[in-house]
Amino acid sequence: MALQIYKPGQGRYVRLGTVGGAALVALIICYYVWTLMVQYLPKEFAYRVYVAYAVPAVLFAAIALVVALYLNRPKAADFFIATESEMKKVAWSSKAELIGSTTVVIVTVVLLAVFIYVADTVVLVTMQRVLHLW
């Protein structure tokens, strides 16, 4: 049984992005499993290195197979195709708008942080003076 791609060529970029994200998650999981294997396998175990590398490799292959089978299901593939078609309709901001909006957000956050710091300091100093009077 050969794996045939459902509606090939449609939703290509969303499918590739999903595969890339899944591969990144799978690599992180496999790295975690590898660190556990290296840490907890006894040093006297003759095949320690082989097991420490083989188990994460098999795990990565299993995750890849599950992701490939899931992404090829008609419901999932139709969702990715619809997502890509909707993303083509989005009106993206220009570079100048993006820089302006980012600047406004950063300045607002900095000013708010300074205001909260000053207000906190005033309340702290006031409370210390009040408590020393009693």
pLDDT above 90 for 16: no
pTM strictly above 0.85: no
What pLDDT score does 104 carry?
A: 98
- pLDDT tier at 3, thresholds 50, 70, 90: low
What pLDDT score does 14 carry?
A: 86
Annotate the chain with three-state secondary structure.
Answer: CCCCCCCCCCCHHHHHHHHHHHHHHHHHHHHHHHHHHHHHCCCCCCCHHHHHHHHHHHHHHHHHHHHHHHHCCHHHHHHHHHHHHHHHHCCCCCHHHHHHHHHHHHHHHHHHHHHHHHHHHHHHHHHHHHHHHC
Query: pLDDT digits over 81-101, tens only?
Result: 898 889 889 888 999 999 999
Query: pLDDT digits over 40-77, tens only?
Result: 888 888 888 888 889 999 999 999 888 888 888 889 88
